[in-house]
Amino acid sequence: MRLNPKLLVGLGLLIVFGYFLKDLVFNDDQYAARLRKVRKEKSDSFRRVQGSPLSQEQRNVFDSLHYYAPNIAYRVEAQLEPFSQRDTVEIPLTNGKADKYLRWGRVSFALDNQPQKLTLFLKVDGKDSTLFIPFTDKTNGFATYGGGRYLDAPKPAPGDTEVTLDFNETYNPFCAYNDGFACPVPPQDNRLAVEIKAGEQAFHDHAADGKEETH
């Protein structure tokens, strides 16, 4: 029996599309699994004495950090505008002092069909291999820490025109857990007028009332 060539082509395309769809779903699952693993490891590290921002009293009742569910929509490719002249600026700290950073560049992207811009910073001492993005959004003071959150981005290679911003990796400054830390305050030009429902949520200090939150 002779098969219609058009039917064969159609079947072939269907198979290819099926594999592509399967691979896409699998990759999304992989991404979410990797993110959850990193988040669990961070919560585990907060229970240890070494490097944890929590006091002994806080660690005694600490359960885990709280996050929005992984959402691939908050992983965006932003248009990069490196600054030809990188001015040194002082970003105020929560203790009244300041840290020096280079205004490295700016990124443009869209969220909820609204154009957004963020300034990228780099520590003046040159020790950081990633760009620093302190920002605020409309979730602050509600679901997330009131003082804003941070995001790191890989330092682009020369000639790159885009940089990946993964807001699922947004994290709290140490002063969100313990007033004994001083943290950079997000500057005016990094205050977003949208909700970023991704990344780390507000910290619940159960040491204050001696109770743990159940999950």
Using one digit for the tens of pLDDT, what is the confidence trace for 123-176? Answer: 998 788 899 999 999 999 999 999 999 999 999 999 999 999 999 999 999 999
**Higher per-residue confidence, 3 vs 188:** 188
Using one digit for the tens of pLDDT, what is the confidence trace for 58-109? Answer: 999 999 999 999 999 999 999 999 999 999 999 999 999 999 999 999 999 9
Q: What is the DSSP string of the chain?
A: -PPPHHHHHHHHHHHHHHHHHHHHHHHHHHHHHHHHHHHHHHHHHHTSSTT-SS-HHHHHH-----BPPP-GGGEEEEEEEE-SS--EEEEEBTTS-EEEEEEEEEEEEEETTEEEEEEEEEETTS--SEEEEEEB-TTBTTTB-TT-EEEEEEPPPTT--EEEEEGGG-B--GGGT-TTS--BPPPGGGB-SS----SB-----TTTTT-PPP-
Domain locations along the chain: 67-190
Using one digit for the tens of pLDDT, what is the confidence trace for 195-205? Answer: 999 999 999 88
Using one digit for the tens of pLDDT, what is the confidence trace for 20-55? Answer: 443 444 378 999 999 999 999 999 999 999 999 999
Q: What's the whole-model pTM score?
A: 0.83
Is residue 188 predicted with pLDDT exceeding 70?
A: yes
Is residue 12 predicted with pLDDT exceeding 80?
A: no
